[in-house]
Amino acid sequence: MNLLRRIAAIAALAAPLALATGASAQGTGTITGQVTDAANGRPLAGVQMVVQGTNIGSLTNENGRYVITRVPLGAQTVRAVIIGYSQTTVDVTVTAGQPAVADFQLAASAVNLEALVVSAATGRSQRLREVGTKVGTIEVEKLNPAPITSVADVLGGRTEGVIMQDVNGTTGTSQRIRIRGANSISLSNEPLIFVDGVQINSDVGGGLGVGGQEPNRLNDINPNDIANIEIIKGPAASAQYGTAAANGVILITTKRGAPGATQWDFFAEAGELEDRTDYPGNFSAYQINDAGQPLFLQDGSFNSAGYSFCPNRLAATGSCSQDGQLFFNTLTDDRTRMFSKGDRQRLGGSVRGGNEMVRYFVSGQWEDEEGVIFYNTQEKVNFRANLDAALRDNLDLSLSVGYTDSQLGLNNNDNSIFSPIIQGLTGESFFLPANPDIEGVNPRNYGFGFNLNQLAEDVVNQDVDRFVLSSTARFRPTSWLSINANAGMDLANLHDFETVQPGKLPISVFWENGFRSSQRTTSTNYTGILSGVGTFQFTDDLVSTTTVGTQYNDENSTNTFCQGSSIVPNTFSCGTTSDLLSVDEDFFRVRTLGIFASQEFAWRDRIFVGGSLRGDKTSTFGGANADFAYFPSVSGSWVLSEEEFFPEIPFLSTFRVRSAWGQAGLRPGFRQAVTLFSPTTVALDGEDLPGVVLSVTGNELLEQETTSEFEVGFDAALFSERLSADFTYFRRTSEDALISRPLPPSLGLTGSTFQNLGEIRNSGTELSLRLDVVQTDNFGLNLGFNNTTIDNEINKLGEGIEPIIFNRGLQRHDEGLSAGTFVQQEVTYNDADGNGLLSLDEISIGDDVEIGPSIPEWQRSVFADIRFLDFITVSTLFEGRGGHFTGNDSEAFRCGFRSTRGCAAVGDPNASLRQQAAYLADRFGTPATGTSAFLFVEEADFWRWRELSVTLDVPRTLSNRVPQLDGLRLTLAGRNLATFTDYTGLDPETVEGGGNANFSQSEFNTQPPVRYFMLRLDYNF
């Protein structure tokens, strides 16, 4: 009831604003005109026309014409704004009965100060020149869609400060999104994501584990439906989003209709996937004991009667001699290989159009992909319908409906004995022919004895039905007031299920007798926002904008689970299992009520200062801290180059400085603040009675993690608008970080509880350059460069907190170190006898030493667009990352899998001394201490040729003769074409555990990114 009363109170405060409609249509007039390109005179459609100092305006149609009604009489200034052009203003006098005319000619601009950023928290749109923070913008509609397979592909490498980690090659799986580093030690570091103003769930992965990668709901969205993406990078900008926004906010806007002729777009796409990883093979050296015997028996197996394995560590001490060597690569040999070429198809179309009153966009897409593991598949269908209507000249309504239907089949990977990669990496060092008593190749060719057809018996499936609904109403009762209301829902129904039939996976009773697992999840996220924006022209030079509003968010999820063994053959139900049957039901719900207010001033449309305050109350807090938490922010922006005193600098045409400070929060996880009990059975007086045991020790005093950020930067256009540059420095500190604190056993509680103890800092720089190198009738070249640096450090863990060690002991959180730093015992080695082989007494293990950070210290991307004549366009993107380390757990595991044969360090006499030392230290330690250490941590710097596309349009000379060919386009594209790195493992970019991993940075039999080749045909008319 308290929540309802607060909503009612806020609505009551907004009511007087909504009623301020008196004489709104009296004493008004009309402004009309046309907007054209100053360079060629062509009309510009979609230009935002605004009467300065008011909240009224309109858009230009396909002929560049516009009409603005309900304009107050008298002298007015009209502003024209569109991305890629400098803003222009025209002064007019509005009179009753006669439209005022204001025509515009816009010049191209290298700096997008006029791009509009629409706040999902307030519903207000602002030009970038008004914003004191660096907002990343990606104009998805202008990207070549051919090499883009998912929304994650759009985000990677296209804007500074955003790192997509764990890029892997398993079809349908997710990636980690990190914006300006990592803020929280224990909570999620993923950003908030909004689609058309509605907050969506992006972390609902798979209910059933596959040993590693999981799906992500972000990739349910059709990238072909996206118009643009705005990235709010930190608390300085995301303070208005409140207690869950410290990691940044991603705003996705889908395509809308436009006034003018109906536009149809259709495409067909086909391609293939290929695993190009240089997988290592397995070695074994052997000693001849009886030269008269054959090396292999008739069944192909190694003849141990005449020969014996002689691994490097024994040969180093003279215990055996290496007379020969065997080598086999299970993953690449045609007789045993696990991978095949996958394939991918997409078909889709859209229609958009309308007039000044009603605009629409409707699209549909079908997608089908089979991965490089043939039973890793995904089929997906997307539909979208967006409608915009001007119900009155002061009331607009926008509706958006997106639907996704997906069927995903995942293979096991990473830390699973049913992973195809782990089977091959631990296979024998020699080929064994098929056993006539066993179908397929000999099971001993594979580390755990399962060939690909057997592994295909265990597919983890996920079916998804998802709706994202959004409605927005904009009411302008007066020229100075705009009221915005947004309501929407993200609804996802997931069914995760797995069935293994009896006798298909002979390993344990549970698997041998067959089993069934099933989990059904319903996840909903409701968003409601009401805001009022008042704009006042105090003087000719000073404009004030005041925003007040409220937001309500309700996230909840329910799921039911069952699992059982000994299934009836050819059935697919927990009800047909007869052993080890278990059922469970779970839920979570998090409700957040936010109130916000902001005040901004604009002086001569050049100097902008503002401040905001957001208050949130969320249900994840308990006890005394269940009240509102407040998050302030201040910002300033100054377009210095438009000032009269700014010096005339021939090479500098635009220069803006900006700065901001703000706070945002991260709320505790669901149930972390409460104490929980689990059911159990208690024997009392010979009877079994129901009882409970403590399962979670809650902390009702938990507070949100609070992150403060300061940033300062500049934007510049140089050399006649050919070069744009922007630079940002930021410093972010998260306080009251939640730490899982161990509890003394004497308390009789659980092992740990969460407390607000830690502090973590991220600082760095962002640089973006865009260069228009040359533009002629027959050739054009545009270049771009992004650079991000990150310095991360844990300032404190909290009094009495020991270093937190994780990821098999490889990494730790400790004061003074970067979060997740690799710390290991120092290993030294010396080939004293010079025989090229190390024995155990030739290595030594010392104290712990800091190896390096797990968080990349830099990320860079280079991209280019090249135009030849009027019909050939080449686009490419390179992305690099470095300054960090990763654990090569794949190599460590296979080296230790067998003691006499396996990786090069075990059985290849030519293995490097470092390889041998790493193996010996990890597998055996030293005789003196009995400990082990780890040299399988490597620098993970890399550059990847991420994208290449070549597009052929119909030459203008041909389309002029055959108009039906105009709009036809053919594109050949590739993705993940080459990798440049010194890392010796499978791939430096992949991470075991996929999107679930927070700081863990190691690959463990993880599917590396695969190469895509795609051919796409587009036709629009």
pLDDT, one tens digit per residue, over 832-852 is: 999 999 999 999 998 899 999
Higher pLDDT, 531 or 203: 531
Which of 477, 518, 530 shows the shortest CA–CA distance to 11? 530
Residue-level pLDDT at 521: 93
pLDDT score of 40 more than 90 = no
Residue 402, Cα to own-chain centre: how many angstroms? Answer: 20
Question: Using an 8 Å Cβ cutoff, are 778 and 822 in contact?
Answer: no
Specify burial of residue 781 (Cβ count, 10 A radius: 0-12, 13-18, 19+).
Answer: middle
Higher pLDDT, 362 or 957: 362
pLDDT, one tens digit per residue, over 944-971 is: 999 999 999 999 888 888 888 899 999 9
pLDDT score of 438 more than 70 = no
Q: Which tokens is 391 given?
A: 């119900």
Residue-level pLDDT at 994: 55
User: Full-prediction pTM beyond 0.85?
Assistant: yes
pLDDT band with cut points at 50, 70 and 90 for residue 20: very low
pLDDT band with cut points at 50, 70 and 90 for residue 626: low
* Percentage above 70 pLDDT, the chain: 93
pLDDT score of 3 more than 60 = no
What mean pLDDT do residues 684-702 have?
Answer: 72
Residue-level pLDDT at 25: 44
pLDDT, one tens digit per residue, over 226-273 is: 999 999 998 988 888 888 889 999 999 999 998 888 999 999 999 999
pLDDT band with cut points at 50, 70 and 90 for residue 703: confident
Mean pLDDT of the chain: 89
pLDDT, one tens digit per residue, over 108-118 is: 887 778 777 88
pLDDT band with cut points at 50, 70 and 90 for residue 812: very high
Beta bridge partners of 888: 1003
pLDDT score of 66 more than 50 = yes
Residues with Cβ within 8 Å of residue 747, at least 6 apart in sequence? none
pLDDT score of 159 more than 50 = yes
Residue 614, Cα to own-chain centre: how many angstroms? Answer: 26
pLDDT band with cut points at 50, 70 and 90 for residue 175: confident
Residue-level pLDDT at 799: 82
Residue-level pLDDT at 440: 62
pLDDT, one tens digit per residue, over 659-682 is: 999 999 888 877 777 776 677 767
pLDDT score of 5 more than 80 = no
- Interatomic CA distance for residues 920 and 911, integer angstroms: 13
Following DSSP, what letter does each residue of 375-412 receive, concatenated?
T-EEEEEEEEEEEEEEEETTEEEEEEEEEEEEEEEE--
pLDDT band with cut points at 50, 70 and 90 for residue 123: confident
Residue-level pLDDT at 23: 37
**Sign of the C-alpha dihedral computed for residues 811, 813, 816 and 817 taken in this order:** positive
* Percentage above 90 pLDDT, the chain: 63
- Interatomic CA distance for residues 202 and 381, integer angstroms: 18
pLDDT band with cut points at 50, 70 and 90 for residue 749: low
Following DSSP, what letter does each residue of 445-507 receive, concatenated?
GSTTS--HHHHTT--EEEEEEEEEEEEEEEE-SSSSEEEEEEEEEEEEEEEEEEEE-TTSS-S
**3 state DSSP class of 419:** coil
Residue-level pLDDT at 1013: 97
